[in-house]
Amino acid sequence: MPDNASTPAPVVPAVPRAQEGLLDELNRKKIYIVKAFALAMGFWFVQFLYQYYAASAGDLQSSLVRSFSLAGTTLIGLALLIGPLVVVFPKRNYIQFRRTFGVAGFTLVALHVLAVLAFLFQWNISYLFFDLNPFKNPVLFGSMAFSIFLMLFSTSTDWAIRKLSYPKWKSVHRLIYFAFIFAILHYSLTNPPALENVFGYLLRLVTVSAIVLELAAFYKKVQSGQAGKGAWVGAAFALLALVLFSLGFLFRPLVTG
């Protein structure tokens, strides 16, 4: 071959447009996940600092237990608030963030559970069941809530939605309402003074807003003739919350003996 002959450049196969679109989507999701994780941890860290320097007076273990609990439950409450919010105020549509809030909230709640087991129970699971009456032993309400949260967390993926089909997946994830009730009863009955601070008030505000919006959304759907299964589940959630809260806070001597 002559010295001046040019060597042909290697042929690089073109990336199909569909594949390029998929790669772009994956990159966007990675960036979104990193941002969401950073925001969730920032929200928790602010609460931890408040607990450590103000509410818990420098007690590291209490600060971790309480900050994980308050931050996680608040984020789950915000996830629950988003659904009825768009029904009552159609222009306030944040549905795309609901799963993000829920997963971030569960992650912090899981860290709360680990902190409680490590610091308070010394990894002795039997201590959790010192009394089987949940109104005497609110840890049982927390255990029920966490069991449901764990199941929902494990199916909070696009793969699970495709596998179950969206209607079935949505039916399963309506259990979040009942898990939230158990979580409220857990943190309300376990240590009420721990809620007497700015983040405790924030959690109460989010909780009350979620329940009120759920009732308002149910009323609006019934009024318009669009009340389906989800609306009735929401109404059952509010009714169950009313009954259990009444027992826990108005008639507690009756249920605790």
The string of pLDDT tens digits covering residues 109-158 is 999 999 999 999 989 988 888 888 888 899 999 999 999 999 998 888 88
Q: Give the separation between CA 115 and CA 69, rounded to whole angstroms.
A: 10
The structure's pTM equals 0.82
The gap between the terminal CA atoms of the chain, to the nearest Å, is 100
Q: Give the separation between CA 80 and CA 217, rounded to whole angstroms.
A: 12
For residues 126, 132, 135 and 136, what is the CA-based torsion angle, rounded to 10 degrees?
-60
Q: Is there a domain that residue 11 lies in?
A: no
Q: Is there a domain that residue 217 lies in?
A: yes
Q: Is there a domain that residue 174 lies in?
A: yes
- Owner of token pair 């929902």: 152
- Owner of token pair 């971030």: 104
| Parent domain of 154 | 25-256
Domain count across the chain: 1
- From its phi and psi, is residue 122 left (phi > 0), alpha (psi between -120 and 50) or beta? left
For residues 101, 30, 94 and 102, what is the CA-based torsion angle, rounded to 10 degrees?
-20
Sort 219 into a burial class: Cβ within 10 Å, 0-12 / 13-18 / 19+.
middle
Q: Is there a domain that residue 19 lies in?
A: no
Beta strands in 54-112 (DSSP E): none
The string of pLDDT tens digits covering residues 71-81 is 999 999 999 99
Q: Is there a domain that residue 184 lies in?
A: yes
Q: Is there a domain that residue 33 lies in?
A: yes
Report how far Cα 116 is from the mean position of its chain's Cα atoms: 18
Query: Which pLDDT does position 1 carry in this prediction?
Result: 44
Q: Is there a domain that residue 180 lies in?
A: yes
pLDDT > 70: percent of the chain: 85
Q: Is there a domain that residue 198 lies in?
A: yes
The string of pLDDT tens digits covering residues 18-51 is 455 545 656 677 888 888 899 999 999 999 999 9
